[in-house]
Structure 1
């Protein structure tokens, strides 16, 4: 497989992006509209709506619509894999003691590697509130516990790289949802931002998700239900990325590793046709000089990189289920399948409300 892709130094950034995509992809589920009214519900509706949210909650309460508790805390854990693509690659070799940025080398025409597949494990905390009976807003903070990417770089420097990284991210989202009988529908959008010292700018991920499915209720346990759903998700992120990686992280056993890289570079160049040698001589010479620069000052040197990133197939399918134990506690699981991404999610959700006069109830 040929593609315009990347150098091992870039895998840390790509993997963290992947982790965020997975961490964000599951936050929407339909509003948990309840079933037939119990005696406890009848008493509840005979009194004023007790919570400040959602706005106009008293109107829904007056129509005997059983709203979920307006606020929630959710803990999510997710593992999965993602296929990734890079293009328009550039590298530079610099030193931390030199304030001037390095001259970049455009490698888009010569870099070739096998398919990139990233694996990650992440957890996050989500806080949400129903602002309107049909509109939910939420914020998230998460941490990538373990993120691995395996890269087999073929040209110009044959190299197998496995990299592990962890870090944190924050984000926000909006969801609109409702139910008709036993069928719920939800549509959401969320964005997250990863701040990492290796990156010049934060990584921004945008997710759109659509879910729908039936709600199965238990006549003898009105607070309990089981919901199953299917849906689809679209993922995108800011395409241009730049950052740097210290030489000691790329080649911890330098200078022997740098000598090996220089030998691999020579092997690649010597295997080119005479025409390609003329075409890529400048790239070969500049890469060689850059590797020499790394070897001369291993602790002070770094590789600067920039590239455009993308997911070849940004759409994937969703299937999931939730067990509502009662109005306060829910357990859910979801799988992301097809497309370039597979993942599994497990979540625990606790819901509550702040009592007071309902906002805009008049």
Structure 2
């Protein structure tokens, strides 16, 4: 699965600065995140309308914003620096695991379902974790009931609530000219960021090669853009 979306950087806190630097406040503008996730999922229908699953996988990506200004006190004197325009990019690499459920129903060729999941990603390149709650309602049509097409298609929406707390060494970041400041050599950052938009639209389809092998693909569009493809083996 590939996802591209806007983010909000709620705060950037710095520690390990020299004692003569006080009350440093950093302001950013804009934010963007892109990630790719490869997962393996095992699921079971415990009832005709109720499914439970466990999921695990590997995440790769990055988030980026722009530092626009900084203010604080240097040797007790107020400082205010504007027009910095320094990139603040965090590489995201880690392992994802979680669980979810699907509630489904239908009438003749019409069907509807809601997929809800919780996942956690433990990062490896930098310190931190990503907690995700995803809820996706969908409605669709089963063409295989009245035609020779082994096809189901649907539209829907996806809600994501993702909180990210990330930390690391400032000197490891691509900060442009700011990276030349010796006072940042021992500094560490802690960033809290969230999604700029929680909802986006979905359209997808499922093609059944055999009752045991199914290809599924889905496209997300709007403020969040996504694409996934999966091969299901059922028994």
TM above 0.5, one fold? Answer: yes
Aligned to 1:207: 134
Q: Distance in 1 between matches of 2:22 and 2:105?
A: 52
Match of 2:233 among 333, 336, 350: 350
- Deviation by residue 1:27-85 (Cα, 9 ceiling, x = unmatched): xxxxxxxxxxxxxxxxxxxxxxxxxxxxxxxxxxxxxxxxxxxxxxxxxxx12311001
Provide, for residues 132-191 of structure 1, a one-character-per-residue CA deviation record: whole Å limited to 9, x for no partner: 1111000111112x4133433222343134554322110100111122100111112100
Please tell me whether residue 128 in structure 1 is matched to residue 128 in structure 2: no
Q: Which structure's CA Rg is the greater one? A: 1
Matches of residues 154-173 of structure 1 in structure 2 within 5 Å?
Answer: 154-156=68-70, 157-173=84-100
Q: In the alignment, is residue 250 of structure 1 matched against residue 173 of structure 2?
A: yes
Whether 1:304 aligns to 2:189 is yes
The answer (yes or no) to whether the contact 2:28–2:68 under 8 Å persists in 1 is yes
What is the CA–CA distance in structure 1 between the aligned matches of 2:232 and 2:23, rounded to whole Å? 49
Structure 2 Cα separation of the partners of residues 191 and 106 of structure 1: 35
Q: Does 1:185 align with 2:185?
A: no
SS at match of 1:261: helix
Q: Indicate the structure with greater strand content.
A: 2
Match of 2:58 in 1: 143
Question: Within 2, Cα distance between the matches of 1:248 and 1:170?
Answer: 30
Per-residue Cα deviation, 1:187-236 (whole angstroms, up to 9, x for no partner): 12100001125435x42110111011100117786xx6200100111111
Among residues 1, 7, 13, which one is paired with 1:90 in the alignment? 13
Q: Unmatched 5+ residue regions in structure 1?
A: 1-77, 96-102, 264-290, 296-300, 353-362
Report the equivalent of 2:219: 335
Q: Give the conservation status (yes or no) of the 8 Å contact 1:94–1:304.
A: no
Higher relative contact order (CA 8 A, sep 6+): 1
Indicate how the Cα distance of structure 1 residues 199 and 143 shifts in structure 2: closer, same or farther if over 3 A, else same: same
Taking only aligned residues, the RMSD between alpha carbons, in angstroms, comes to 2.8
- Cross-structure match for 1:79: 2
Determine if contact 2:157/2:202 at 8 Å carries over to the other structure.
yes
Q: Does 1:175 align with 2:175?
A: no
Match of 2:178 among 261, 265, 276: 261
- Aligned counterpart, 2:27: 111
| Structure ranking higher in helix proportion | 1
CA separation in 2, counterparts of 1:342 and 1:137?
A: 26
2:161 matches 1:236: yes
Instruction: Classify the secondary structure of the residue corresponding to 2:196.
Output: coil
Picking from 56, 60, 66, the partner of 1:152 is 66
State TM-score, norm by structure 2.
0.81
Aligned residues: 219
